[in-house]
Structure 1
Amino acid sequence: MTNQPSKITTLWFACLSMLGFLATDMYLPAFETIRADFNTSQSLIGLTLSIFLLGMALGQLIYGPLSDRIGRIKVLMGGMTLFSIASVLCAFAPNVEMMLLARFAQALGACSATVIWQAVVIDRYEGKVSERVFATIMPLVALSPALAPLAGAMLEGQFGWRSIFVALVGFGAVLAIMTLKEPESANLDKKQEKITVQLRQDYRQILSSKKFIGNMIIFAACSAAFFSYLTGSPFVMSAMGYSGADIGLSYAPQTVAFIVGGYGCRMLLNKYDSQQLLPWILKLFVGSVTVMFLISMNTEPKTIWPILIPFCFLAVANGAIYPIIISKALEDFKNCSATAAGLLNFLQTMVCFAASGLVSAFAMYGLMTVTTAMFITGFLALIGYAFVVKARNELALQTA
């Protein structure tokens, strides 16, 4: 296994990790324009995000085991092809029903990138190196919530909202070219069991791990809080009188915060063990969602700032948490790294889908819906941490 990824490989990891976020974030400033163009409801437009999350979740259950059997590169190329075709369909969708179908297909393609870059990191790198790679890539991922809405708002203003999806076709093509230049990392020489037998063995191994379950729940809770905000904030800000460009700009502060959290975590990992850092980061996450909930309960903000400021602290927490929990969740499954990554992301994304769907269904209640969903994720994160502590204590007893 290599010690450190090259700059080109790091860029490839970053682009793969950004793909799903770009497909969710670029069109957020155009929500109201798309709603008016299709003459439909806010709930159905919000559902275009929720259905994307569902497709991301389901596809990862397929791509993970498939890439463990036939290789990362072949599967990723298939995913990029599907993503590009679906993006074309989104660009030319005549109504919201076609948009929903195309978004689902687009998600099925995009999720191949999410599963495979994480599996390749686990394939190629060990322990602290793996954590540092994740801590390098995750802050770069944070650029998408800032740059993607700004780019989307610019494209919408100059060429209309459909140009956003044309741009995504181009990004998918660039990723396909980069993928062809990377070597295969899966161990394809190992003996292959019948796929149903292999999946049963792998899933039994993964789901019996309290360490995996605990880190997965934390990952899901933190991500669900983020997607609750992404789903509801465009409508909340529109109701406050903000324009699409303003909505795009509002994602810049939280992106800076996420980057600060990610690179802060990277530096702290040089001095402290990740299990020392995790409880403090979780306190920041739970505190942030609690403050946002209390603000919406007791006041009626006229601007987004009373909510955006604590959300930035949440973004710092997420930026620091993600590298730790993803690496810890997957590190014990090098024999089936893509299957484990697919299951991790499936379960995480299903929780995000539920949170996003809840916010979409109750969009008429505005900010209260968003912050209530986020507050619930705080309790979910604490449950996950309880599993992590229990797994750690059991391991300590076994090695004592």
Structure 2
Amino acid sequence: MNLRTILILGALSAFGPLAIDFYLPGFPAMALAFGTDEKHIQTTLAAYFLGLSLGQLAYGPVADRFGRRIPLLVGVTLFTVASLACAFAPTLDALILARFVQALGGCAGMVLSRAIVSDKCDAVGSAKVFSQLMLVMGLAPILAPMLGGVMVNLYGWQSIFIALTLFSALCTLAVALGLPESLPANQPRPPLSGSLRQYGRLFKDRIFLGHALTGGIAIAGMFAYIAGSPFVFIKLYGVPAEHYGWLFGSNAAGFILVAQVNARLLAKRGPAFLLARAVWVYLAAGLTLLGISALHPAALWPLLIPLFICIASLGCIIPNASACAMSGQGARAGSASALLGCLQFSVAAGAAALVGVLHDGTAVPMSMVISLCGLAVVSVAMLTRRLSLSRCV
């Protein structure tokens, strides 16, 4: 796969993180503008997650029937229009609706970038490309909140959605001019009427489902960290809010580094081999984090070390689990990618909510959810490993 294609797919993969992390610094200003509180502004985030989950299921069968290029152009264009609607939303309800539509458009890039990689690469090649795409996925959480905060202070919260509009418009142009159709012309194209049967077959595919859940539960651990870290860092340990981004960014940097190391290791070992070992690192770090949290240390640094290892290990787990799930899907790669993304976000949203439910004023709830995800990841990964040696090595 050439560099131009990887860069375009990287930009498309960034839609999700950018649309989530970029506007978080604007919550106070948005609450003031709409005469409400930040709790109600958070419903715009919930609307986006709902759109991501539902939208991915729609794009899969469409992409398998009509190819990757046309649905991708439609989705990115929809994201562009919805981003502009967000910038000029007159009420909070209008903003919530625009965010939902924005997610319906944005998830096209997430679903179809995985499908395009699967069209062009085998399992090892897919894992390498997914690791490279993790560079974008990791940089977005570092840069987006910082840049978003600057833009809100200088130009107001609307400027964030104007920037997303311009970014997605450029992506639309890049897809139109530089991304050819990847679905082979001679490949069978299942009718849309069979989409439910296609998803049914995928649910019966224990290897696909196992790898999809392995990656999804690992991402759930990351969402637990995203949901719990602001309270733990800022409220519990008194880290200044302006320094939170640096701590958040250092963990994202570990994620990026391990993803790039993973891409190099794939020259010698297959994705399933690396995945089977990385999940144990994640579990060990998660249990260590829980043990330290239970001791309620007076300083933050004892928590930061196992937390860094947890997040960094995901740079190996997520791309390899995705590559193994997509391996051998062929004509149903679009549907497989859609179901993979839907499962990931559904499980991850549940983990983030669980952190809130268990909140007790300590770091234990966040650590507990992360360690539970570690136990589940190891269990599912080991069970799937026994079934998948013939398909993903």
| CA deviation map 1:38-76 (0-9, x unaligned) | 454554444433332221111100011111111211111
CA 1:373–1:85: 2 relative to 1, 3 Å: farther
Which stretches in structure 2 are left out of the alignment for 5+ residues?
none
Tell me which amino acid in the other structure corresponds to 1:219.
G
| CA deviation map 1:14-33 (0-9, x unaligned) | 11111111111112334444
Tell me which amino acid in the other structure corresponds to 1:292.
L
Question: How far apart are residue 351 of structure 1 and its match?
Answer: 0.7
What CA distance in whole angstroms lies between the structure 2 residues aligned with 1:23 and 1:342? 19
Tell me which amino acid in the other structure corresponds to 2:255.
F
Matched-pair contact (CA < 8 Å) for 1:87–1:106: yes
Matched-pair contact (CA < 8 Å) for 1:213–1:387: no
Matched-pair contact (CA < 8 Å) for 1:135–1:323: yes
CA 1:306–1:41: 2 relative to 1, 3 Å: farther
Could you tell me the TM-score, scaled by structure 1's length?
0.88
Residue number in structure 2 paired with 1:154: 150
In the alignment, which of 27, 36, 50 is matched to residue 23 of structure 2?
A: 27
What CA distance in whole angstroms lies between the structure 1 residues aligned with 2:92 and 2:363? 25
- Residue 224, structure 1, aligned to residue 220, structure 2: yes
CA RMSD of aligned residues (A): 2.5
- Residue 286, structure 1, aligned to residue 267, structure 2: no
Tell me which amino acid in the other structure corresponds to 2:184.
N
Residue number in structure 2 paired with 1:233: 229
- Residue 299, structure 1, aligned to residue 296, structure 2: yes
> For 1:101-120, what aligned pairs fall within 5 Å after superposition?
101-120=97-116
CA 1:362–1:72: 2 relative to 1, 3 Å: same
What CA distance in whole angstroms lies between the structure 1 residues aligned with 2:20 and 2:155? 19
Matched-pair contact (CA < 8 Å) for 1:80–1:109: yes
What CA distance in whole angstroms lies between the structure 2 residues aligned with 1:186 and 1:301? 56
Q: Aligned pairs, how many?
A: 389
Percent of matched pairs sharing the same residue: 30
Could you tell me the TM-score, scaled by structure 2's length?
0.89
* SS of match in other structure, 1:342: helix
Tell me which amino acid in the other structure corresponds to 1:285.
Y
CA 1:386–1:126: 2 relative to 1, 3 Å: closer
What CA distance in whole angstroms lies between the structure 2 residues aligned with 1:362 and 1:392? 36
Question: How far apart are residue 159 of structure 1 and its match?
Answer: 1.6
Matched-pair contact (CA < 8 Å) for 1:139–1:319: no
- Residue 141, structure 1, aligned to residue 127, structure 2: no
Residue number in structure 1 paired with 2:274: 277
What CA distance in whole angstroms lies between the structure 1 residues aligned with 2:360 and 2:87? 28
Which stretches in structure 1 are left out of the alignment for 5+ residues?
none
Matched-pair contact (CA < 8 Å) for 2:123–2:271: no
Tell me which amino acid in the other structure corresponds to 1:245.
E
CA 1:291–1:122: 2 relative to 1, 3 Å: same
What CA distance in whole angstroms lies between the structure 1 residues aligned with 2:46 and 2:379? 24
| CA deviation map 1:309-357 (0-9, x unaligned) | 3222122211111221111101110111111100111111111122233
Matched-pair contact (CA < 8 Å) for 1:214–1:386: no
Question: How far apart are residue 278 of structure 1 and its match?
Answer: 1.9
Out of 157-166 and 111-120, give the one that drifted further: 157-166
Tell me which amino acid in the other structure corresponds to 2:282.
F
* SS of match in other structure, 2:112: helix
Matched-pair contact (CA < 8 Å) for 2:271–2:323: no
Tell me which amino acid in the other structure corresponds to 1:386.
M
What CA distance in whole angstroms lies between the structure 1 residues aligned with 2:55 and 2:119? 21
Residue number in structure 2 paired with 1:333: 329
Residue number in structure 1 paired with 2:169: 173
Out of 380-389 and 239-248, give the one that drifted further: 239-248
Matched-pair contact (CA < 8 Å) for 1:68–1:188: no
What CA distance in whole angstroms lies between the structure 2 residues aligned with 1:236 and 1:63? 38
Matched-pair contact (CA < 8 Å) for 2:76–2:168: yes
Out of 88-97 and 107-116, give the one that drifted further: 88-97
Residue number in structure 2 paired with 1:267: 264
CA 1:249–1:351: 2 relative to 1, 3 Å: same
Question: How far apart are residue 268 of structure 1 and its match?
Answer: 1.4
* SS of match in other structure, 1:142: helix
- Residue 16, structure 1, aligned to residue 32, structure 2: no
Residue number in structure 2 paired with 1:376: 372
- Residue 185, structure 1, aligned to residue 182, structure 2: yes
> For 1:386-397, what aligned pairs fall within 5 Å after superposition?
386-392=382-388, 395=390
